[in-house]
Amino acid sequence: MKKKIMGMMLAVSLAAVCMAGCSSTSANVQTASSDSEDAEAVEEDAQEDADADENYRSAAFELVVNAKNEEKTVETLDEELGDVVAVSRDYKIGCVVKSLEGSHWQEVARGYEEMAEELGIEVDIQGGVTEDDMTGQLAIAEAMIEKEYDALILSPITESNLDPAIEKAITKEIPIINVDFEIINTEYPYIHVVGMEDFTPEGQWVAEYFAEHLPEGSQVAHIEGLGGAVAANQRRDGFVGTVEEMGVLEMVSSQPGNWDRETAYNLTANLITQYPELKGIYCANDGMALGCVEAVENSGKDIMVFGTDGIPEAVSSIKEGKMTGTVSAFGYYMGREGIKAAVRLLEGQELPQKAITEVSILTEDNVYDYYPE
C-alpha cells in the first residue's frame, strides 16, 4: 500500500512538472509572438511616418500646381489665413538668391534667416559668387534638389539659367516659390512673392520725380545694371522711355554699370566732366547709386541721385541728405514673406499664384515713416 501511495505521488509530481513545462513553453511562444507583432507595428509606424513626410510635400506641390491665377497682398493673406506662428514639422527649406555679395540680396537673406528662426525651421541660403554667376547658381540649386528639401525658394539670375534645376524639382514634386522679380518660365508651377511683376514702373517713377523736381530742360542720365539682365533692361526702359515721352528733360546718357559701385563711381565722374550741366542720375541699384553719390560729392556739384532697392546704407544716405531717394522693394520683408509662403503651403494652406509685397519711393519726405530710427 505504501509503495502504491508513493507511486501515485510520483505520478502526480511528474504530471505537475509536465504541466509547468507546457505552460512555460506556451508563455515563451506568446512572448516571441508578441515581440514579433511589436516589431511589425514599429515598422508600420515608421512606414506611415515616411509616407506622411512624402505626402505633405506632395500635397504642397499640388497646391502650387492648382493655385488660382490671381494676386493678393501679403496683408490680405495674413487677414484671411492668420499669422504663421507655429509649424507641425521641422521643415528644411533651400533658398537660392542671385548673390550674397549684393546688399539687396543680403537683406532678402536676412529676412529668410530671421523668419525661419522665429518659426523654428531650418534654411539653407546660398547664392552665386556674383550676380552674373549663372553656372554657379544652377549648381547650387541642383545640389539642394538632391538634398530633397521640403521647398525651394528661388531668385534666378536670368529667365532660364535655373530651368534644368526647376524641371528636376518638379519631377520630385518639390514646391517652388519665386521671390522678387517674376522671372521663372510661367509654364512651370510656382508661387510668386514679389513687389513688382515688372520693373519698368520703377524707372518711370524716378523719371516723373525728376520731372517734378528739376527745371524744365535739365539733363539727366541713367547708370544701368548688368547688360542683358531683365531687371536692368526694364528699369532702363522705364526711365529712358518716360523721360523721352514726357519731353521736359534731356536724356544725355544710359550706360551699363554692371551693378558695381566702383564702376558707377567712374561712370559718374566721366559724366560730370562730359556734361557739366547734368542735374539728375538714376542708378539701377543702390550700390551703384552710392558710388555715384561719392563722385558727385567729390565734384562739388548739385546733382540728384536716385537708386533702387532700399538697402540700409542707401536709407542712411537719404537721411544724411546725400542720396535723393531710392525705389525700395524692402528686401528684408520680401524674404520673410517668402518663408511664410513656403510654410503656408507645407501646412496645407492655399495661396494665389502671386503674393504682393510693398514697393515705394523713399525720399527725405517719407524715409522716417518707414525707418524711424
Q: Looking at per-residue confidence, does 272 or 182 come out higher?
A: 272
When mean pLDDT is compared across 32-46, 66-80, 335-349, the lowest value belongs to 32-46
User: What distance in Å separates the CA atoms of residue 360 and residue 178, rounded to the nearest whole number?
Assistant: 21
For residue 148, what pLDDT band results from cuts at 50, 70 and 90? Answer: confident
pLDDT of residue 187: 82
Per-residue pLDDT tens over the stretch 109-138: 999 999 999 999 999 999 999 888 999 999
What is the per-residue DSSP string for 321-344? TSS-EEEE--HHHHHHHHHHHHHH
- At residue 247, the 3 state secondary structure works out as coil
- Provide the 10 A C-beta neighbour count for residue 216: 10
Q: What pLDDT, on a 0 to 100 scale, did the predictor assign at position 19?
A: 42
Q: Which of 334, 351, 323, 75 is nearest to 191 (CA)?
A: 351
Task: Compute the mean pLDDT over every residue in the chain, rounded to the nearest whole number.
Answer: 87
Percent of the chain with pLDDT over 90: 73
Residues sharing a CB contact under 8 Å with residue 263, sequence separation 6 or more, in sequence order: 257, 288, 291
State pLDDT tens for residues 314-326.
Answer: 999 999 999 999 9
Distance of alpha carbon 236 from alpha carbon 67, whole angstroms: 32
Whether pLDDT at 48 is above 70? no
C-alpha–C-alpha distance, residues 123 and 339, integer Å:
9
pTM over 0.85: no
199: phi then psi, degrees, rounded to nearest 5: -80, -5
Domains in the chain with CATH codes = 71-196+332-357 (3.40.50.2300), 200-328 (3.40.50.2300)
Q: Using one digit for the tens of pLDDT, what is the confidence trace for 234-267?
A: 999 999 999 999 999 999 999 999 999 999 999 9
Give pLDDT, residue 16. Answer: 40
Give the position of cell 518660365: 185
Cα atoms in the 13 Å half-sphere on the side-chain side of 135? 0
Looking at per-residue pLDDT, the higher value among 182 and 231 belongs to: 231
Q: Which of 355, 357, 371 is nearest to 311 (CA)?
A: 371
CA distance 71 to 335: 18
DSSP 156: -
Residue bearing cell 495661396: 351
C-alpha cell at 301: 556739384
Q: Where are the beta strands (DSSP E) in the chain?
A: 71-73, 92-99, 122-128, 151-154, 176-179, 191-194, 219-224, 250-256, 278-283, 304-309, 325-328, 354-356, 360-363
Percent of the chain with pLDDT over 70: 85
Examine the pLDDT at 201 and tell me if it is beyond 70: yes
Report the residue count for the chain: 373
C-alpha cell at 16: 505537475
The CA-to-CA distance between both ends of the chain, in Å, stands at: 112
Share of the chain residues as helix, strand and coil, in percent rounded to the nearest 5 = 55, 20, 30
Q: What is the pLDDT of residue 340?
A: 96
* Cell 540728384 -> residue: 304
Cell of 202: 520703377
Chain center to CA of 151: 11
Among 256, 93, 77, 249, CA closest to 175:
93
Contact 304, 282 (CB under 8 A): no
